[in-house]
Structure 1
Amino acid sequence: MYRTALRNVLAHKARLLMTTLAVLLGTAFVAGTMVFTDTLASAWRAQSAQSYTDIAVTVSDRGAVGKGYDHGGKGSDGPRLTEDTRKAIAALPGAAEARGVVSGFAGIADRKGALIGDGFSTTGTNYVPGADGTDPRFPLADGRGPRTSGEVALDTRTAEKGGFKVGDTVRVAVNGPVMELKLTGTLHTNDPRVDAGGSLAAFDTATAQQLYLSPGQYDGIDVKAKSGTDDTALLAAVQKSFPEPNSFEVNTGRALAAEQERRIDENTKAMSTMLLVFAGISLFVGIFIIANTFTMLIAQRTKELALLRAVGASRKQITLSVLAEALLVGLAASIGGLIGGIGIAAGLQALLNGPWDANLPDGPLVIAPSTVIASLVVGVAVTVLAAWLPSLRASRIAPVAAMSSGEQPATQKSLLVRNIIGLLFAAGGALGLVAGAASESVNLVGAGAGALMIGVFVLTPLLSRPVIALFAPALRKLFGTPGKLARENAVRNPRRTAATASALTIGVTLITTLSVVGASVSKAADRAFASDLKADYAVAMDNYSMLSPEVAGQIAKTAWVTAMSVMRQVPVEAVADGDTSWLTSVDAATFDRLVDVKVTAGAADALQQGKLLAAKDYAERNHLTVGSTLDVTYPDGTRGSLAVGALVERNSEVNGLIAPDRLVGPHAAAGSGLQKVLVKGADGATPALKQALRDATGGNPLIGVKGEKDIKAETNRAINGVLNVMYGLLGMSVIVAILGVVNTMAMSVFERRREIGMLRAIGLDRRGVGRMVRLESLMIALFGGVVGVLLGIVTAWATVRTIAGSLKSITLVLPPVQIGFFLVAAAVIGLLAAVWPARRAARMDILGAIKSE
C-alpha cells in the first residue's frame, strides 16, 4: 500500500502541484517569520550588549523629573544625583571612572524647518569627554564634541538626512523656542531609538542640565570598574556611599543588559506572534485546497480504490495509503517552504535596511533548530490533517458500487448532518456576535465571528446553488450556451465549489472587516473633532511631552487670536485616602468658546464660579454629583477644597475633571503639565493664523499647530498605515486561495475531459469551451467574494459596537469603493485563475478526450 501511495504521488505530480505550492507558501511564511524575528532579536541583543560593555554599575535617579515631561510638577523630594555624588562614587576604591548622564528629547530641524526623524525618538544627551577628549559612548565620525552652550554634535544618520557638515548651523529645539547651534562633530551610536528612525543631539553637560534638569544635576551615573574589581562588590560599595539607603536605583551593567535582552525577546516574540497569526491564516486557507485536491483525486481514482478493496485491502490500509500520499506531499512542500522562508527573511532584512531605510541592526541570519522542526511539523501536520476526511471517504467506498460509477454522490444523510452542524455553528456564532456587541466584549465577538465563519463554511454547499443562481440570467443573456454550461458546472458538485470558494472567502472576510472598521473609526474621529472642538487650532508637542511655560504667553500675543485656553494636567491628592487624581485646568472665561461643553446637570457657568466640571461617566464611576466636594493637596503642598459645579457629556477634550486654571494653576509647578493650547482666530482657521502660531512658538519642529484638516489627515494616515500592513500580511492567504481556484479548475478540466470532448464534437468551438471554464471560475470566485463581503460586514458591525463606549460617535460606515473593489478583485482573480485551465480545455484533442476514462 505504501508503494502504491508513492506511485500515486509520482503519477499525479501536476495535479498535486498547486497543493504543494499552497503548503510551501504557508510554511515559508512561518519559517520566514521565525528566522527574521530570531535574526532581529540576535542583532538587537548584540547591539544592546555593546551599550554595557564598559559599564560595571549604573545609578539612576527615579525621582529626577525632566523638563517637558508629563509629571505635573510632582518629582520626588529626596536627594538628587549631583556632581558631588559623582565625585564620591568616582573616589570609591574599585571605581575607575564615574560618568554623569543627562537625557531628554531634542528635535532637529532640516533646512526647510521640518523635523528629522520620528518625534517619539528624538533623543538629547550630554557629551562627556574623557582624558583624550572623546566620549567612549559616542565614537566620533568627524570633528569634535560640543564644549559650550552654542555647540551641538549629531549622530551621523541625522547629519546625513539634514545635509549638515561640521561647521554648519543647526536648528535644535526641546519644548520651547528653537536654538541655533554650531555643529562641531558627528557621532556614531548604537542607541536603538536612533536606529529605529530617531535622532541624537549631544550637548555639553552644563547645557544638557539646563535644558533637561537643573544646573549640576544628573539623572544617572555610569560607573566603570578598575581591572579585577567584581561588579557586585562595586555595586555594594556604591549603595553604601549614599547617605539615605534606597534613595537611588543601583544595578550592575550585566543586570541591565539581561533586562534589556528580556525586553527585546518580549518585543520580538510579540512581533513573531502577530506574523504567525497571519501565517496561520494562510495555512488555514491551504487546508481547503488540500482537502479539495485529495477529494477530487479520490473521486478520479474511485475504480482503482474499489479494485484494491476487492483484492483484499482493508479500510485502514486505504486510509493510511491516502495519508501517506499527504505525508509525502507535506514533507516535500515543508522542505521547500523552509528554504523559501530563509530566503524571505534574508530578502526582508535587505529590503528594510535598503530601500525602506528602517535602520534595523545588521546581523547574520539565525536559523534555529526550533525553526526547522516547527516548519516541517507544521507543513506535514496541516497537509495530513487536511487529507484526513478525504482518506476516510476513500476507505468507505464499496467495491462493487464503486466499480460501476466514476464518482459516488454524497448521501442525503451526510448532507443533512452537515447542514445541521453548519446551522448550529452559524446560529451560535450569530448569538455570540450579538451578545459581544451588546456587552462590548472583544473576546466574545472574536469567538462569535469564528463560529459564524465555520458555520457558513459548512453551509456553503447549501448556499452555492441560490447564490450562483443569481448570476444565471446575466450569463445566459450575455454568453448563451457557454454561460449556461458554466452555471451548471459550478453547481454540479456543491462541496467542491464550496471548498474552492471558502479559501477565497477567508481573505475577503478579513479584509472587508478591516476596511469597514477602519472607515468607521476614521469617520468617528472626524465627527469627534468637528463636534467637540470649536477651536481653530490646537498647539501641542508632537511627541506628547509638555509645552514650555513660555508658549502660552507667546500665543496670547499673536495677531488674529481672539480666544485661547491652556489645557494643563495637574495631579492632586485626596486628603482622605491619598489617591492621586488628575485635573485638567483651563481658562474659565474662554473654554466654552473653544470646546463644545454640553451640561447635563448643574450650572453652565460653573467654571466662572470657580467650580469643577465633571464628565458624566467619570462622575458615575467615582460617585460624584453636583455639589460634591473634593478636599485635595496640590503639588506645592497646599490644601484646598474643590466643588463639582456641573456634569457634562464626555468628549475628546472633556473626559475627567475640568478646573479653572486661575484656581489650580498657581499651586502647580511653573508650566507643569502644559499639555496643549487651544486657539480661536478672528477669521477662522486661516494659513496666516497657522503661520503666526508657528512663528510665535519659535518654529520648533516638535511643536504641532493642527487644525481640523490636519488632525483628520493625521488620523487617516495612521489608520491607512495599519490597514496597508494588514492587507499586505493577508495578501499571502489570497495568493494561496488563487492557487486553490487554479487547482480546482485544472483538475475539473481533467476530470471532465470526456464531457468536453463530447461538447466539442456536437459543435461547441474552442472559444466556447474556454469561455465556459472561465465563467465557471468567475462564478466560484464571485461566490466566495460575496459571502466574504457579507461575513466581513457582519463581523465589522459587532466590532464597531464593542468600541462604541470609547469612541462615542462611531457608527457602521460601509466604504462602497473598497467593497466594490474587493468584489471586482474577486472576479479578476477568478478570471486569471482560469487562464491556464481554460487554455488546456480549449486545446484538448476531441477524439482523445472522448476515448478517455
Structure 2
Amino acid sequence: MMALWLKGIVATRWRHLMAVGAGIMCATALIGLIGVFGLSSAGTMTRRAISAVPVDWQVALAPGATPMELTKKLRDSAPVRAVATVGYADATALSLNTGDTTQTTGSGQIVGLSPDYQSLFPGQIRLLLGGTSGALLAQQTAANLHATVGSVVTVTPVGAAPFDVTVAGIVDLPNADALFQIIGPQRGASPVAPPDNVLILSEADWRTHFGEATHRPAGGARFQLHVGLDHNPLPSAPEVAFSTTTGMAKNFEVRAAGEAIVGDNISARLDAVRQDALFARILLLFLGLPGAILGILLAISVVRSDAARRRQEFALLSLRGASATQIMSLVMAEALTLSLLAVSFGVAASTVLARSALHADVTSYDAMVWLAATALGGVIVSCLAVIVPVRADFRQSTVSARRMWLSRERVAGWERGKVDIVFLVLAALTHWRSASTGYQLVLAPEGVASTAVDYTAFLAPLLFWLGAGLLTIRLGRLLLRSSGSLLPPMLSPLSGRLATLVGSALIRQRSRLASGMALVAVAASFAVATTVFNSTYHMQQLVDARLTTGADVAVTGSATMPAGTALNRIAVVEGVLAAEPMQHRFAYVGKDLQDLFGIDPVRITNATDIVDGYFTNIGAREALARLARQPDGILVSQETVNDFQLAIGDLLNLRMRAADGSEKTVAFHLVGVVKEFPTAPRDSFLVANASYVAAQTGAGQAETVLIRAGGSMAALAQRVRDALGPSSQLKVTDVSQAAHLIGSSLTAVDLAAIGSVERGFAVLFVAMATGLILWLGQSERARSNAILLSLGASRREVRSFIWSEALIVAGIGLLAGTLIGLIDAWMLVRLLSGVFDPPPDYLNLPWMSLSFILIGAIAAIILSVLAQSAWTRDETAQELRG
C-alpha cells in the first residue's frame, strides 16, 4: 500500500513535490554552506591572529639555568621555528651630562639582544633615528634624557658598577606590554605598565656587565628565551589550536622541572580569537538565517497549499476503511522520502558550492559534522512541516467536514495578537540599548588579549526582519481591501475589458496575495541586506588596509634615502592614477618624541582616502581645508590632546631636526584633532603642511610616496619595484600585504564570496515566492478561466489574471523588500561599528550588484509566470473537457 501511494503521488503531483523539495533543498544548502564557510573563516582568523604575535613564548629562566639545555628541551616539546636568548637587567637610574645640566631618570630596564634578534622577531623594534648597531634608547627614555644619536648615557645598574654607553639609535617598542610582562605566579594578578626607561645593548655587551648577576637569585639580572613556533602544524580551529599550544607549554614546563616558566603569548591571542570565531559564526548565521527561514517557509506554504486536496484524499481513504494510523503512516512515508531526497541534494549542493565558489575545505572533521547535523536537522524540520499540519487537521475534522471543506478568510493568531508590532518594538528597544552603550559589541581593553561580545544585540535585525515581514502581510491585505476603485485603471493595460473583473478577483484573494507580497518582500530584503552589508564590510576592510599601508600602494624610504626622489619614475608607471609625496619626520611634544606627517592637504586625497572617521568632531573635508588655509596649522592625535590638555587654536612649539642636523623649535597652531591617519601609529602622532615643515627645517624631502592604483594593486606594486630597480632600498607595499587586525580579527572574514552565493539564493527565493503565490491560485483560476473562455474571452485576456497577480505581488513585494533590506543592513552596520577602525561613514550601495538582483528577480518572475501560464492552460483544458 505504501509503495502504491508513493507511486501515485509522484505520478499525479510531481510538480507539487518538486516545489516542496526545492524549498527544503535551498534551506539545507544555504545553512550547510554558511556553516562550512564559518568553519573555514575560523581557520583564516586563527592564521591571521597567530601571525600577528611577534613572540609566541617568552620563557623566564630560573637563576643559574642554562639557556642551551632548555633550548634542547624546547625543541623536544614543540615545533620551534626560532629561539633567541634575551637578557633583562634592572637599573636604578640612567643619566646624561650635557655639560650645562645633568638629566637623570628613575629606574629602568637594560635589555640584551643577539645580533639576529631583529631578523628572527621583526615586529619587536621599530627604528626612529640612527642605526641599530650599538646601544639603542627607547623613544620615551630619549625624551626623558633629552638624548639623541651620539649622546653618552651613564647606566647605574642594580648590584653592579656604573658604565657609559654611546647611543647609536632611538627606537620604538611596539609590543612593550608583552616584552616586559610579568612571567610566573604573579602573572595576571594586576596590570603592570612597561618601564618608561629602556636601554638595549648587544648580547655580548650585556653579558659583560650582567653575566655574573644572572647566577644570583637577587642579582637584578635574568634570562628569557624568546620562542617562535612553527605555525603550520597547528590546527585551524582556534579553540583546538588554543588547547594545542597550552598543552605544549605545559609539556615544556614539566620537562624544565622548575627551571623555566612560559609566558604563553600565542595562547593568550588564541584565547581571544576563540571568542571572535564564535562571534564571526553568529554574524554569518544572522546573515544566512533569514534565507534558511525563508526556504522553510516556502516549503511549509507549498505543503499548506495542498491542504484541500489532502483532505479529500484522506476522506476517501477513511471511507474505504483506512485507519488514522495507516493514513498517518502514508503521510510520514511521503514526508520522509521527500525530505531525505531534498536534504541529500541540499547537502550535495552546499558541498559543491563550498568547494568551487568559496574554496572551503569540506573534508575536515568539523565541516563533515556540520553537514551531517544540517542534514539531520533538515530532515526533522521538513518532516514536521508536512506531518504536523496534517495531524492537526486529521484530529480536528470529521470525514464529512474534510469532504465539504471550503476556504474562507480567517484572521491569523499572530495578527490578532499583533505579533508584528511586538517584534518591531522589541527590535527598536534592542537596537536602542546597543546604541546607548555606543555599539560596544566587542570590548578589547588595551593590553588585555580578551574580548566580550554582546550577542543579544543581533536580535534587533532579526526581530525587525520578522516583524517587517508580518507587517507586510497586514498592510498588503489592507491595501488591497481599500483599493477597489484604483485597481481597474492600473490593470487595464494588461487586462483590457476584464480589468474590473481582475481587480475584483485580486481583492477577493487578498489574503493569499498579501502572503505572497510578504514572501517576496522578505526574499528581496534578504538579498538587499546581505548585498549592502557585505559591500560596506568589504569597503571598510579596504579602508582599514589603506590606513595601514597608507594607500593602494606605498613606497617607503628613510631620511637618508627618501622615496620622494623617485616620484617622477613612480608617476609614469602603468596603472598609477596618482602619486603624492608625504613626509614622515619626528618631533618632540614636550618630552615625547612623536611621528609627524607632512602632507599637501589639497592633493593628498588624490592618492589615498581621507574619511570622516579619522577625525574627532569634524569632517575630513573641513579638517584638510583648515590645514590648507593655515600654513602653520597642525592636526594633533586624540591621545596627545588628552595628555597635554590642548584645545583648538593653542600654540605648539615642537622641537624638530633641521637639515644641518641641529635641533630647531618650530611653532604650530592646533586646527583639529585626528584619531587615525594613513601609515600613522595608533597612539600619538601629528599631521602638518609639508611645505611649512620644509621651509622651517630646510629639509624638503618626502620619505614616503602614496599611490592610487588603477587596477590590481599587487601587480602595480611589482611594476613599481621593477621601475625602481633591483638595487633600490625603497620598500614597496600594497593593500594586499596589510595585516589589518582591528580590535578582534573579525575583518579576517572575507564575505565577498559568500555574499555572491547568498545573492544567487535570494534571486531563487524571489522566483519561488512569486511562483508559489501563482500556484496557490491555480486550482481556483482553472475553473474561472474555463468559464471565461466559454463566454468568449481570449486566451490573452485569461492570462492577464496571472500577469496582474504577478505585478501586484512582485511590485509591492520588491519595493517593501528593498526598504526592509536597507534598514536591516543599516542596523547590522551600526551594530558592528566598533569592529571597524574607523567605523563606516555611510552604507555602501553596490548599484551593480543591486541591479543584478533586480534584473535576476524580474527574469525569474517572468519565467515563473510563463510556467504557471502553461500549467493553467493544461488545467483549463481539463476543466473544459470535464
Secondary structure of the 2:636 match is strand
Count of aligned positions: 632
Write out per-residue CA displacement over residues 324-356 of structure 1, whole angstroms, 9 at most, x where no aligned residue. Answer: 65444322312333344444455558xx6xxxx
Change (3 A) 1:314 1:247: same
Match of 1:584 among 592, 595, 619: 595
CA contact (8 A) 2:587 2:655 kept: no
Write out per-residue CA displacement over residues 223-245 of structure 1, whole angstroms, 9 at most, x where no aligned residue. Answer: xxxxxxxxxxxxxxxxxxxx986
Q: Please, what TM-score do these two structures have when normalized by structure 1?
A: 0.56
CA contact (8 A) 2:651 2:669 kept: no
Aligned to 2:760: 731
Mapped pair 1:257 → 2:255: no
CA contact (8 A) 1:567 1:675 kept: yes
Change (3 A) 1:260 1:42: closer
Write out per-residue CA displacement over residues 476-516 of structure 1, whole angstroms, 9 at most, x where no aligned residue. Answer: 24432565555555554445434444443234213333555
Match of 1:448 among 453, 460, 470: 460
Separation in structure 2 between the aligned mates of residue 692 and residue 258 of structure 1, nearest angstrom? 36
Aligned to 2:82: 59
Aligned to 1:512: 528
1:15, CA displacement in angstroms?
Answer: 0.9
Aligned to 1:292: 301
Write out per-residue CA displacement over residues 561-582 of structure 1, whole angstroms, 9 at most, x where no aligned residue. Answer: 999651358999x99xxxxx99
Separation in structure 2 between the aligned mates of residue 765 and residue 285 of structure 1, nearest angstrom? 37
Write out per-residue CA displacement over residues 600-636 of structure 1, whole angstroms, 9 at most, x where no aligned residue. Answer: 9x99999959xx85356974699655799999999xx
Change (3 A) 1:338 1:584: same
Aligned to 1:19: 20
Separation in structure 2 between the aligned mates of residue 483 and residue 44 of structure 1, nearest angstrom? 59
Secondary structure of the 2:670 match is strand
Separation in structure 2 between the aligned mates of residue 736 and residue 553 of structure 1, nearest angstrom? 54
CA contact (8 A) 1:2 1:321 kept: yes
Aligned to 1:197: none
Aligned to 2:422: 424
CA contact (8 A) 2:532 2:843 kept: yes
1:8, CA displacement in angstroms?
Answer: 8.2
Separation in structure 2 between the aligned mates of residue 34 and residue 603 of structure 1, nearest angstrom? 49
Aligned to 1:334: 343
Mapped pair 1:566 → 2:596: no
1:45, CA displacement in angstroms?
Answer: 12
Mapped pair 1:614 → 2:636: yes
1:464 alignment partner AA: G
CA contact (8 A) 1:782 1:823 kept: no
Mapped pair 1:836 → 2:836: no
Moved more, 309-318 or 28-37: 309-318
Change (3 A) 1:414 1:4: farther
Separation in structure 2 between the aligned mates of residue 33 and residue 415 of structure 1, nearest angstrom? 30
Write out per-residue CA displacement over residues 758-802 of structure 1, whole angstroms, 9 at most, x where no aligned residue. Answer: 222222333333342243234322232111012123334545666
1:301, CA displacement in angstroms?
Answer: 2.9
1:247, CA displacement in angstroms?
Answer: 2.8
Change (3 A) 1:274 1:436: closer
Mapped pair 1:759 → 2:788: yes
2:470 alignment partner AA: V
For CA contacts below 8 A with separation 6 or more, give which structure has more relative contact order.
1
Secondary structure of the 1:247 match is strand
Separation in structure 1 between the aligned mates of residue 557 and residue 603 of structure 2, nearest angstrom? 22
CA contact (8 A) 2:286 2:458 kept: no
1:376 alignment partner AA: A
1:731, CA displacement in angstroms?
Answer: 1.5
CA contact (8 A) 1:346 1:365 kept: no
Secondary structure of the 2:233 match is helix
Change (3 A) 1:584 1:413: same
CA contact (8 A) 2:315 2:399 kept: yes
Mapped pair 1:247 → 2:271: no
Change (3 A) 1:679 1:279: closer
The residue correspondences of 1:521-670 to structure 2 (distance < 5 A) are 547-552=557-562, 554-555=564-565, 565-568=582-585, 583-587=594-598, 613-615=635-637, 619=641, 625=647, 646=670, 648-650=672-674, 653=677, 657-659=684-686
Change (3 A) 1:807 1:27: same
Separation in structure 2 between the aligned mates of residue 797 and residue 37 of structure 1, nearest angstrom? 22
Separation in structure 2 between the aligned mates of residue 338 and residue 521 of structure 1, nearest angstrom? 28
Separation in structure 1 between the aligned mates of residue 579 and residue 38 of structure 2, nearest angstrom? 54
1:28 alignment partner AA: A
**Percent of aligned pairs sharing the same letter:** 18
CA contact (8 A) 1:516 1:814 kept: yes
Aligned to 1:159: none
**Structure 2 unaligned blocks of 5 or more:** 51-74, 88-108, 124-199, 204-219, 242-273, 442-453, 572-577, 606-619, 657-662, 694-698, 709-718, 736-746
Separation in structure 2 between the aligned mates of residue 340 and residue 599 of structure 1, nearest angstrom? 51
Cα RMSD between the aligned structures? 6.7
CA contact (8 A) 2:635 2:671 kept: yes
Change (3 A) 1:819 1:754: same
1:287, CA displacement in angstroms?
Answer: 1.4
The residue correspondences of 1:332-411 to structure 2 (distance < 5 A) are 332-345=341-354, 347-348=356-357, 370-371=369-370, 373-387=372-386, 390-391=389-390, 394-395=393-394, 397-399=396-398, 402-403=401-402, 405-411=404-410
Q: Please, what TM-score do these two structures have when normalized by structure 2?
A: 0.54
Separation in structure 2 between the aligned mates of residue 315 and residue 258 of structure 1, nearest angstrom? 57
1:695, CA displacement in angstroms?
Answer: 6.8
Separation in structure 1 between the aligned mates of residue 121 and residue 754 of structure 2, nearest angstrom? 33
Aligned to 1:78: 111
CA contact (8 A) 1:519 1:814 kept: yes
Aligned to 1:459: 471
1:285, CA displacement in angstroms?
Answer: 1.5
Separation in structure 2 between the aligned mates of residue 337 and residue 466 of structure 1, nearest angstrom? 37
Secondary structure of the 2:295 match is helix
CA contact (8 A) 2:524 2:766 kept: no
Separation in structure 1 between the aligned mates of residue 85 and residue 286 of structure 2, nearest angstrom? 39
1:586, CA displacement in angstroms?
Answer: 3.3
Change (3 A) 1:292 1:439: same
Change (3 A) 1:56 1:421: closer
CA contact (8 A) 1:28 1:341 kept: yes
Aligned to 1:849: 879
CA contact (8 A) 1:608 1:660 kept: no
Match of 1:283 among 263, 280, 292: 292
Separation in structure 1 between the aligned mates of residue 8 and residue 771 of structure 2, nearest angstrom? 21
Write out per-residue CA displacement over residues 435-474 of structure 1, whole angstroms, 9 at most, x where no aligned residue. Answer: 6567653778743332222112223332224556576532
1:648 alignment partner AA: G
1:23 alignment partner AA: I
Separation in structure 1 between the aligned mates of residue 603 and residue 673 of structure 2, nearest angstrom? 16
1:456 alignment partner AA: A
1:555 alignment partner AA: T
2:818 alignment partner AA: V
1:372, CA displacement in angstroms?
Answer: 5.4
Change (3 A) 1:496 1:696: same
Write out per-residue CA displacement over residues 675-729 of structure 1, whole angstroms, 9 at most, x where no aligned residue. Answer: 845799xxxxxxxxxx9999789989963799xxxxxxxxxxx99x966751333
CA contact (8 A) 1:760 1:766 kept: yes
CA contact (8 A) 1:786 1:823 kept: no
CA contact (8 A) 1:36 1:346 kept: no
